[in-house]
Amino acid sequence: MTTYLRQARTSASQQVAPFTGEGAYHGSTRPRVEPLREAPAPPLVDELRPRTLEQYAAEGRRDIAEFEAVFPNHHAVVETLPIPTQEAIQSDGVSFCWCPIDDAIREAGPLTRSVLEAMRAHVGGGKRHVYIDSKIQYFAPGDVPVDSQHWHVDGSIVARDERARRLGHALLHDMRARLQAPALGPRYLAYQSSGHCATLFATAPVTLTLPELIPNFDELDRRVRALAPPAVAQPPGSIVRFDGLSLHRAVAATDAGWRLWVRCVETDRMVTPDASIIACYGKVYRTPT
Positions touching Fe ion (CB under 5 A) are 154
Helical (H) or strand (E) element with 18: strand 16-18
CB of 257 to Fe ion, least distance (A): 21
138: left (phi over 0), alpha (psi -120 to 50) or beta: beta
Is 56 or 96 the residue whose CB approaches Fe ion more closely? 96
Is 107 or 133 the residue whose CB approaches Fe ion more closely? 133
Cα angle 45, 62, 246 (rounded to 5 degrees) comes to: 45
Among 72, 142, 90, residue whose Cα is nearest residue 258: 90
CB of 85 to Fe ion, least distance (A): 27
Is 153 or 210 the residue whose CB approaches Fe ion more closely? 153
Is 64 or 130 the residue whose CB approaches Fe ion more closely? 130
Is 47 or 154 the residue whose CB approaches Fe ion more closely? 154
CB of 75 to Fe ion, least distance (A): 12
151: Cβ contacts below 8 Å, ≥ 6 apart: 202, 217, 220, 221, 224, 225, 247, 248, 249
Dist CA 93 CA 7 (whole Å): 5
Are the beta carbons of 136 and 191 closer than 8 angstroms?
no
Which residue has the CB atom at the shortest distance from Fe ion? Answer: 154
Are the beta carbons of 184 and 61 closer than 8 angstroms?
no
